[in-house]
Amino acid sequence: MIKRVAAEFLGTFWLTFGGCGSAVLAAAFPDLGIGFVGVALAFGLTVLTMAYAVGHISGGHFNPAVTAGLCAGGRFAPADVLPYWIAQTVGAIAAAATLYVIASGKAGFEIGGFAANGYGEHSPGGYGMTAALVAEFVLSAFFLAIIMGSTDARAPAGFAPIAIGLGLTLIHLISIPVTNTSVNPARSTGPALFVGDWALAQLWLFWAAPIAGGVFGGAIGRWLLAGADAKGR
């Protein structure tokens, strides 16, 4: 278990540092910035790379919603959920702290949104709470469907991290304007602790909606995959 939770810590650290770091450090330049498309790709690449690096150790969740969803999908032991959640959350907080040290080294630094997730006036596109709830629930559910299907024993071997990474990229392309994209409670918690105030007040949504969506997606994936053969019968 020690190596498994260590892998989850490292994977979630990389996801938060790489994804949020791309937004805080690389997307901020008017002429040289990577834009939200680059940020979306960065999040996908973090999952893809760490799934290949440590996925064979821990399963490569890096996300409390994924852990909950895989548990609902019959792929993960309920007794191991809490240790994974703790490792993932601590990894995200450590990544946010590291990112803060780097970002604050620039003259005139102001924390601003610091890649935190939000709705209402804190949504990049001004979307309200209901829109944020629906987006986070639906996208988390489909993320679990992608994970369940691509890691099924009948799926092409070795390609799951690519499907999952590209799936997360697509999710960000859809929802960065809505919530700045969470679908991951740990990733939301790290930056929120440094922004404080509104980010902490709205953090509940970015735990509740992704976990509920993940559980729903995991359960649906379990039902769809149960008993089907390689030809879909």
The whole-model pTM stands at 0.93
- Which residue, chain included where needed, has tokens 């922004």? 195
Confidence of residue 32 (pLDDT cuts 50, 70, 90): low
On whether the CB atoms of residues 81 and 75 are closer than 8 A, the answer is no
230 in a structural domain: no
What's the CATH code of the domain at 40? 1.20.1080.10
55 in a structural domain: yes
233 in a structural domain: no
Q: To 5 degrees, how large is the angle CA 141–CA 178–CA 15?
A: 60
Judge whether residue 28 has pLDDT over 70.
no
129 in a structural domain: yes
Judge whether residue 26 has pLDDT over 90.
no
The whole-angstrom separation of Cα 75 and Cα 164 is 16
231 in a structural domain: no
Residues in the chain: 233
Query: How far is CA 110 from its chain centroid?
Result: 25
Element (H, E) at 26: none
Q: Into how many domains does the chain fold?
A: 1
CB atoms within 10 A of CB 183: 31
On whether the CB atoms of residues 103 and 175 are closer than 8 A, the answer is no
Q: Share the mean pLDDT of the chain.
A: 93
The whole-angstrom separation of Cα 67 and Cα 159 is 20
33 in a structural domain: yes
Find the domain containing 156 and state its range.
2-225
115 φψ region: left (φ > 0), alpha (ψ -120 to 50), beta (else): left
The whole-angstrom separation of Cα 199 and Cα 111 is 12
The whole-angstrom separation of Cα 203 and Cα 104 is 23
pLDDT in tens, 72-114: 999 999 999 999 999 999 999 999 999 999 999 988 888 888 9
232 in a structural domain: no
The whole-angstrom separation of Cα 4 and Cα 11 is 11
189 in a structural domain: yes
